[in-house]
Amino acid sequence: MQPLSNFKKIQKAEGRNRPRLFLIFGWLLLLPWLAGCGDARPAMVIAGSTSVQPLMEKIVDRYRKMHPELKINVEGGGSSAGIMAVITGTARLGMSSRQLKMQDEKESSLTPITIAYDAIIMVVHVDNPVNVLSREQVRDLFAGRLTSWKQVGGHDREVHLIIREEGSGTRSAFDDLVMVENKKPVDIHPFALVQDSMGGVREVVKNDPDAIGFISMGGINSDIKVIRLNGVEPSFASIKNHQYELVRPFLLLTRGALDPVAQRLVDYVFSADGERIMQEEGCVSARK
């Protein structure tokens, strides 16, 4: 009888476990549903440029750690959508990676706050003899009109283009700042190699003597050579005073005066913490 009663005991113990198991599974099933129904406090919405979005998300994340009671949503949609959202009042703050159109009455009614500068740095292999390129030369290289390094003062070797993936902020900055001719967009040559991270671009350029790529300010290191655009060395100073040309501003937009809650967030953006996050994200803070 001893073994049998033992078996029963085990059975019983398992039987007691079962409802708990069901509970766990039940909860797992409920989780996605629960995630949908947050609390009903009105959230502060920040919407706009998908280039500014990752930066603002990082900053807001850090900010919320200090103020867990705040509800702030950072949404994408693009610069124009962000500007519209502030005009219509759906968003408290807008994000834009382009200047406001001052000839547009509605847009010019908004107050822009420049929080950072996003710079595009052209990089080549350390052994490449080319040091200086003009903006037009960079464009023609990436459009596939110039195909040999000889055409821009280098060796007689085929140029290998390295770009970022469609949708990345650095790529859209490059498209906006470089790939333009008479205000019309120019397509990048289809044979350009696509990397999905700044590290990837750097790695390819580091290993391929014929490669040229673009990264943001934060990604510069000694593995690669930085091109002086029109002879200007990119630096925090030359970016802030716009001597270096491949720069676009990151703006926050407001309609009228900021309320205290939004003002404190903007203050945080300009704090030392904010500046450090911007550096991590590869852009230059507009902090004085």
Partner 1 sequence: MSVPENKPSNSLSRREERIRRILQLMALSSVSVLALIIVFVFREGLPLIYNKGFAAFLGGQRWAPTRGSFGIFPMIVGTIEVTLGALLIGVPLSLLVSLYLSEFADRKVRTVMKPLIELLAAVPSVVYGFIGVILLVPLVRNYVGGTGFSVLSASIILGIMILPTIISISLDALRAVPQNYREGSLALGATSWQTAVRVVLPAARSGIITAVILGMGRAMGETMAVIMVAGNAVVVPTSALHPCRTLTSNIAIEMAYASGAHQQALFATGVVLFVMIFCLNISATLFVRRK
Which residues of this chain interact with partner 1, rule CB under 8 A? Answer: 4, 7-8, 11, 50, 54, 76-77, 160, 165-169, 172, 185, 187, 190-196, 203-204, 207-208, 210-211
Q: Which is nearer to partner 1, 204 or 262 (CB)?
A: 204
| Distance from C-alpha of 39 to C-alpha of 170, rounded to nearest angstrom | 36
Residue among 105, 84, 46, 103 at smallest CA distance from 258: 46
Q: Which is nearer to partner 1, 206 or 225 (CB)?
A: 206
CB of 14 vs partner 1, minimal distance in Å: 9
CB of 76 vs partner 1, minimal distance in Å: 5
| Distance from C-alpha of 233 to C-alpha of 120, rounded to nearest angstrom | 12
Handedness of CA 212, 215, 219, 225 (dihedral sign): positive
Q: Which is nearer to partner 1, 76 or 112 (CB)?
A: 76
Which whole-number Å values give the CA distances from 244 to 199, 212, 234, 283, in the listed order?
23, 18, 6, 14
Q: Which is nearer to partner 1, 15 or 68 (CB)?
A: 15
- Residue 141 in 3-state DSSP? helix
CB of 59 vs partner 1, minimal distance in Å: 17
CB of 213 vs partner 1, minimal distance in Å: 12
Q: Which is nearer to partner 1, 216 or 254 (CB)?
A: 216
CB of 95 vs partner 1, minimal distance in Å: 13
Q: Which is nearer to partner 1, 89 or 190 (CB)?
A: 190
Q: Which is nearer to partner 1, 164 or 254 (CB)?
A: 164
CB of 287 vs partner 1, minimal distance in Å: 26
| Distance from C-alpha of 133 to C-alpha of 189, rounded to nearest angstrom | 18
CB of 194 vs partner 1, minimal distance in Å: 4
Q: Which is nearer to partner 1, 128 or 168 (CB)?
A: 168
Q: How far apart are the first and last CA of the chain?
A: 85
* Residue/partner pairs of 97-106 with CB below 8 Å, 24 or more apart: 97/49, 97/51, 97/52, 97/169, 97/172, 97/173, 97/176, 97/248, 97/249, 97/250, 97/251, 98/49, 98/176, 98/248, 99/249, 99/251, 100/251, 100/253
CB of 200 vs partner 1, minimal distance in Å: 8
Tokens found for residue 279? 């550096």
Helices (H), the chain: 2-36, 53-66, 79-88, 105-108, 135-143, 169-177, 198-207, 236-240, 260-269, 272-280
